[in-house]
Amino acid sequence: MPLTDVTVRNAKPGPKTVRLRDERGLYLEISPKGGKWWRFRYMLRGKANMLSLGVYPDVSLKDARIRRDDARKLLANGIDPAQGRKEQKAETIKDEATFERVAREWFAKFRLNWTSSHGDRIMRRLEKDIFPWIGARPINDILAPELLTTVRRIEERGAIETAHRALQNCGQVFRFAVAAGHADRDISGDLRGAIPPSKEKHHATVTDPKEVAPLLRAIEGYQGSYITMCALRLAPLTFVRPGELRHAEWEEINLEVAEWRIPAAKMKMRQQHIVPLAKQSVRVLQDLRPLTGSGRYLFPSTRTATRPMSENTVNGALRRLGYSKDEMTGHGFRSMASTLLNEMGWNRDAIERQLAHAERDNIRAAYNYAEYLPERRRMMQDWADYLDKLKIGAKVTPLFAIFSE
């Protein structure tokens, strides 16, 4: 029986997708969340195909039938209506510099400058929070109030930091558009101060030696997976970023020279990073190699050896040890090392280089990834020895205290 306006209006969602049939291939699809889409199912060259005809109530039952009939006319002439729509849409986008088109061009040009995870976050942010609102608009027609309204939708759900990052990405797209001749100016500059500042977030960490000691002893007594325990033991010794740790590969490790070389593609700043391995780190890796050395990753996923462990594994292990997210995180080992190494009197530049923080002079950074390496080797071994002494309860006097006497 054909659908009626009343039937369509009163149709309710179910636990699974509901489909209400009309006539000649038209039906209404209702998602479990309540969204209603018009679909047209048809056969072409012996294969079943489906065409979306719009969303109810924006497209009424009458309009959906008109669209279905238009599609059937194309079929009668041997034309695939879905392909025709794709070509029409592609031609429209080609002729018009929409925000989405320009944004995707910008992304394609610069994505090699970012890690894959960072690039994925940028594109997800644009696809989720920006494209649905201004993606189809000609980029040169977008005004500052329109962009502000779009970004404030993010702010209103409490994601202020995300709102700032989205506005920053939009500014990069607009500047790219100006350079390519698609826009007259970067309107995002007019919105400085329009979004309230986000509260600076600090990764929870432990920096008091009296608190570091029990943390290290807790790690040694970890009762979960031995592979996870090795990751926990390496985290304070190497203080790399959590993503760099879990993506570590055996081919990057050279135990003979006690060195871990992380490729530029894995680094936040896209520059190769050298991690000198203290004797304690080498012992951890020697213990780990019989378990995972035949595979790619030092710390493979429990589900498949072709992927690294979950990003939540180390933090989850810290929770099992009794440390809440407000007390200690996997990223917190970096702050721990930074704070204590500075207190121990080590060269600040050597510490910053070992933390792989950004180098203001990009050209200088590209040629100096090994800068301070001899000093960093001594520092990493001294740091590991310092942690060992803390772990066994020895009283340790930082160098800065000696120098100040």
Q: Cα angle at 60 between 56 and 64, to 5 degrees?
A: 95
Sheet containing strand 36-44, strands side by side: 18-21, 26-30, 36-44, 47-56
Alpha-carbon span 214 to 393, nearest angstrom: 9
3-state helix, strand, coil in the chain (%, to 5): 55, 10, 35
**Active-site hit among 65, 101, 233, 241:** 241
Tokens describing residue 177: 């558009």
Alpha-carbon span 336 to 319, nearest angstrom: 18
Alpha-carbon span 172 to 160, nearest angstrom: 19
Alpha-carbon span 170 to 150, nearest angstrom: 11
**Active-site hit among 268, 296, 307, 377:** 268
Nearest to 241 by CA among 322, 158, 338: 338
Alpha-carbon span 391 to 126, nearest angstrom: 46
Q: How many residues does the chain have?
A: 405
**Active-site hit among 334, 353, 376, 386:** 334
**Active-site hit among 283, 357, 377, 389:** 357
H or E element that contains 25: none
Residues 6+ apart with CB under 8 A from 381: 276, 278, 279
H or E element that contains 336: helix 332-343
- The question of whether 67 is a catalytic residue gets the answer no
Tokens describing residue 163: 């709102």
- The question of whether 395 is a catalytic residue gets the answer no
Alpha-carbon span 286 to 373, nearest angstrom: 23
Residues facing residue 261 across a β-bridge: 274
**Active-site hit among 331, 353, 376, 386:** 331
- The question of whether 182 is a catalytic residue gets the answer no
- The question of whether 202 is a catalytic residue gets the answer no
Residue type for position 45: R
- Any idea which residues carry the catalytic annotation? 241, 268, 331, 334, 357, 367
